[in-house]
Amino acid sequence: MDVLSDVVAAMRTGRPHSARRDKYAPWGLRFAAADEAGFHVVLRGSAWLIPAEGEPVALAPGDVVFLAHGHGHALASGLDVPLREVRLLPDGTWNESPPSGPTAGPSSCCPDTVTLCGTYRLDRSRARRLLAELPEVVHLPARVGTHRSLRAAVELLGMELEENQPGTDAIVTSLLDTLLLYILRAWWQSEREAGRPRGWAAALADPAVSAALRAIHGDPTHPWTVEELGATGGLSRAAFARRFAALVGEPPLTYLTWWRMTTAGRLLRHDDLSLRQVAERTGYTSEFAFAKAFKREYGVAPGRYRRGNA
C-alpha cells in the first residue's frame, strides 16, 4: 500500500487545472487567498514570487514553487511593478487579460518569461496532516542532476499545454496528479538530505511507523490494536505508541479513525454505495456507530454530507 498516494488521492477534490502563459515585461499578477494549493514553474526567463508574508523569492528557469496553504501571493517580473488582481474562475482558469507588450502572433518577438501555473482543489480538513509541516512557499530550484522525475513531469506538462493534441485533457490531469506527488517527494527528500526530516517525511522514513501506516491503509476495516500495529514494525506496544505519536502527531488509533473517516468521505462523494456499505468498508459493523463517528468528524450526518457534495 502506497500511503502517500492514498492520502493525496483522499485530500484532492475536483480536477486540477493548469495553464501555460507567455509574459512580456513589465508584468505583475496578484493571486488572492483561496482553498486551492497552487504551483508556478518558470520555463523561460525569470520572475519574483512575492508571498503574503516573508521575503520575495527570485525564480530562474526550471524553478518550481509550491504554495500548499492557499495564502495570497504575487508573481511579477520585478519587485517594483504594479500588480493586477487575478481571480480564479469556476473552470479553474484565471481571469487574465492578454499579456502586455507585443501582440501575440508569428511576427511578435519572444516573450520575456514563460510560466506554468496550476491549482489543486483540496479538502482542507483532510489535507492538514499531510501539508502542515510545509512552509508557506516550497521552492525547488533547478539544479543539474536533482529531482529528475520532477523535471521530466514539468517538461511533459509544458509540452501538452503548448501543443493541445487529442487526449490532452486526460493527459494534463494525470500529469498534474503526478506533479503534485513529485513536488512533495522532492521537498521531503531535500529535508532528509538537510538532516531535518519532520512530519510525514520522517514518518514514512521510519520502518516501524511506515509499516503500521501501510497496514492501516491496506486494511482499514480490521479492528487494529496498538499492540498489533506495533508488531508490524517489530516494536513493543509502548515503544511503538511513543514513536508513532512523535512522528505522526497523534496516537495510532486516533489516526486509524481519521483515515476511516477520510475513506468514508471519499466513498460518499464518489461512489453510489448505501450507508451500510460505506460503514462496512470503513470498519464499522453498525450503521449507527458509523453515522455517529462520521458526524463527530465532519460535523454533519453522512447523508447530508453526500447531498452537499453531489
pLDDT tens, residue by residue, 206-257: 999 999 999 999 999 999 999 999 999 999 999 999 999 999 889 999 999 9
Cell numbers placing 190: 531535500
SS3 18: strand
β-strand 28-31 against 84-86: which pairing, if any?
parallel
The count of domains in the chain is 2
To 10 degrees, what angle do helices 237-248 and 252-270 make?
Answer: 60
Phi, psi (5° rounding) for residue 209? -70, -40
**pLDDT the model gives residue 103:** 46
198 in any annotated domain: no
**pLDDT the model gives residue 89:** 66
Amino acid at position 233, single letter:
G
**Of the candidates 102, 117, 254, which has an alpha carbon nearest to the alpha carbon of residue 176?**
117
Is the separation of the CB atoms in 153 and 44 below 8 Å? no
Which of 160, 193, 226 marks a domain boundary?
193
Question: Which residues have C-beta within 8 Å of that of residue 307, sequence separation ≥ 6?
Answer: none
201 in any annotated domain: no
233 in any annotated domain: yes
Same domain, 166 and 229: no
Is the separation of the CB atoms in 20 and 116 below 8 Å? yes
Q: Which domain holds residue 43?
A: 3-193
- Cis bond before residue 26 (omega within 30° of 0): yes
Which of 193, 216, 250 marks a domain boundary?
193
How far is 110 from 104, CA to CA, in rounded Å? Answer: 9
**pLDDT the model gives residue 84:** 93
Domain of 222, CATH number, reads: 1.10.10.60
**pLDDT the model gives residue 114:** 93
Which of 138, 164, 193 marks a domain boundary?
193
**Of the candidates 150, 174, 214, 200, which has an alpha carbon nearest to the alpha carbon of residue 2?**
214
Same domain, 104 and 221: no
Same domain, 173 and 253: no
Max avg pLDDT among 72-76, 143-147, 186-190, 305-309 = 72-76
Same domain, 151 and 221: no
Order of all β-strands in the sheet with 28-31: 57-59, 47-51, 73-76, 28-31, 84-86
200 in any annotated domain: no
Average pLDDT over residues 69-78: 93
**pLDDT the model gives residue 87:** 72
How far is 240 from 194, CA to CA, in rounded Å? Answer: 26
Tens-place pLDDT, residues 120-149: 888 777 776 778 778 899 999 988 678 889
Same domain, 154 and 81: yes
Same domain, 168 and 225: no
User: Is pLDDT of 104 > 80?
Assistant: no
Same domain, 107 and 177: yes
Question: Count of residues for the chain?
Answer: 310
Domain of 189, CATH number, reads: 2.60.120.280
**pLDDT the model gives residue 106:** 44
User: Is pLDDT of 76 > 70?
Assistant: yes
Instruction: Give Cα separations from 120 to 7, 139, 142, 153 (angstroms).
Output: 14, 17, 22, 16
Same domain, 128 and 239: no
163 in any annotated domain: yes
96 in any annotated domain: yes
Cell numbers placing 310: 453531489
Max avg pLDDT among 64-68, 103-107, 117-121, 187-191 = 64-68
Same domain, 19 and 117: yes
β-strand 37-44 against 64-67: which pairing, if any?
antiparallel
